Amino acid sequence: MQKPEKLFVGGVSLISSDIIRGHLDAIILRLISEKDRYGYEISKEIASRTQNEFQIKEATLYAVVQRLEKKSYITSYLGNVSNGGRRRYYSITDAGREYLKQEIDDWYSARNIIDIFMEGQA
């Protein structure tokens, strides 16, 4: 059985991008849970960990960060002046940790269900 062809934009399949886009809140929270991070660092870490298979656009990243901050899942602060100016760092809150834990649990549950139907289909 042949796999269906996928459309690609910038080296990333649109289908994969849509699937990932639905989990950006959790992905970004996970990175911030490891240590406080600034926007460009988050973007570079996503690209690095996916070996450039997925790159988040700056506008998308900041929309997610604003949404997470509005929901009180993260807070932000200005760091010390460094090369080129002050960076805004993001830190996870207790509510953010709880939300991330639930998102991870939901992800594993969904993956287990999908695996039931996809095993042996490749």
pLDDT per position as a tens digit, 16-40: 677 788 899 999 999 999 999 999 9
- The mean-pLDDT minimum among 49-53, 80-84, 89-93, 103-107 falls in 80-84
User: 4: pLDDT confidence band, cut at 50, 70 and 90?
Assistant: very low
CATH topology of domain 8-118: Arc Repressor Mutant, subunit A (1.10.10)
Give residue for tokens 């830190």.
91
- At residue 91, φ and ψ (nearest 5 deg) are -130, 140
Among 39-43, 56-60, 82-86, the minimum mean pLDDT is found in 82-86
Phi, psi for 99 (deg, rounded to 5) = -60, -45
Q: Judge whether residue 78 has pLDDT over 50.
A: yes
